[in-house]
Amino acid sequence: MASLRIRQYQEQDYEAVRALFARGILEHAPAGFRHVLRSARVRLALLAVFVAARAAAGSWVLGLGAVALALVLLWVLVRSLSAEYVREALGTDLCDVAGTYLRPPDRCFWVAEEGGTVAGMVAAVPAGRGELELKRMSVSREHRGRGLARALCREVLAFARARGYGAVVLSTSMVQVAAQRLYEGQGFRRVGTSYPSLLGTLLNFQIFHYRYDLGNGGK
Reported residue count of the chain is: 219
Neighbours of 66 (CB within 10 A): 20
Confidence of residue 154 (pLDDT cuts 50, 70, 90): very high
Q: pLDDT per residue over 34-88, tens digit each?
A: 988 888 888 898 899 889 988 887 888 888 889 999 999 989 988 988 899 899 9
Q: How far is the CA of 176 from the CAs of 171, 172, 191, 198, in angstroms?
A: 10, 7, 16, 20
Q: Where are the domains of the chain?
A: 1-218
CATH topology of domain 1-218: Aminopeptidase (3.40.630)
Nearest-angstrom CA–CA distance, 206 and 83: 16
Higher pLDDT, 154 or 147: 154
Supply the pTM of this predicted model. Answer: 0.85
